[in-house]
Amino acid sequence: MASGPHLSFDRVSKIYQSADGPVHALDGVTFDVGRREFVSLLGPSGCGKSTLLLISAGLLPKSGGTITIEGKPVQGPQTQLGIVFQSPVLLDWRRVLDNVMLQIEVRRLRRDQYQKRAEQLLASVGLEGFEHKYPFELSGGMRQRVAICRALIHDPPLLLMDEPFGALDALTREQMILDLQKLWLESQKVVFFVTHSIPEAVFLSDRVVVMSPRPGKVEEIFTIDLPRPRHLDIRETKEFAAYAKAIRDIFQAYGVLKDV
């Protein structure tokens, strides 16, 4: 498949069966993520962002609609991708390097071919010298950076990230945002990025998909027409502020965001 979107959602819905009745998490979600595109999914807490991400990876059954990756319908777990969850999800019993190498082991790739790359990736996120520590010896932010390396080690064409920087402090977060942009610019990857943060979404994305509160629907899709590579200063420009305001207005209209 040379043309067409990389990842495509068509009227995707999800109903959770819970103890006190069905929970309607997603309702008719339709949009595409193109090749080499960086798309953010932005929405209030509980609107179904994580759910959509898990469904798109084939890890959670959907209740209706179709999802395709490279034209093929998603049925069952997809392996041509890397995932970063909201929490680091490191294996406590493995040292940092072995946590990253889990990806290689399970995929039956050759360990000796990836060991060096794993070390380089860890070094690139400031974890040089921590390769042989256990996760409990790291800070929360360091753990999340290990999780990011684990999602990148096998160089997947698609990167799914669920609020990967949510647990980081503001400074590390800015650095990670810049690093992610660089990584994306240098690679051919498609990134599907879930976030709560309007500036983060606008800064990183080609397009921002804004979702409504539960049941999650696509409210609006913004194409962010700002030059790349973007620098942190871009957040002070009129154009950037206009995008952020337009998105904020949607949340205000929903009452998710209340101004005084």
Q: For the chain, how many residues are written?
A: 260
Helix (H, G, I), strand (E, B) or coil at 222: strand
CB of 151 to other proteins, least distance (A): 9
Is 106 one of the binding residues for other proteins (CB under 8 A)? yes
In angstroms, rounded to a whole number, what is the distance separating the alpha carbons of residues 143 and 23?
A: 32
Of 137, 62, 63, the C-alpha closest to 95 is 137
Six token digits for residue 142: 């360091």
- 134: helix, strand or coil: coil
- Taking the least distance from each CB to other proteins, the nearer of 87 and 197 is 87
Quick one: what does residue 47 bind among ligand ATP, Mg ion, other proteins, none, with the CB cut-off 5 to 8 Å set by partner type? Answer: ligand ATP
Contact call for residue 20 and ligand ATP (CB under 6 A): no
Under rule CB under 5 A, residue 50 binds Mg ion? yes
Decide if residue 87 touches other proteins (CB under 8 A): yes
ω into 227 cis (within 30 of 0): no
Task: State the binding partner of 109 from ligand ATP, other proteins, Mg ion, none, CB within 5 to 8 A by kind.
Answer: none
Bridge partners, residue 9, by sequence:
31, 67
Binding characters for other proteins, 157-196, by CB under 8 A (x = yes)? ------------x-xx--xx--x--xx-------------
| Residue 3 or 18 with smaller CB distance to ligand ATP | 18
- The count of other CB atoms within 10 Å of the CB of residue 46 is 13
Selection from ligand ATP, other proteins, Mg ion, none that 18 binds (CB < 5 to 8 A by kind) is ligand ATP
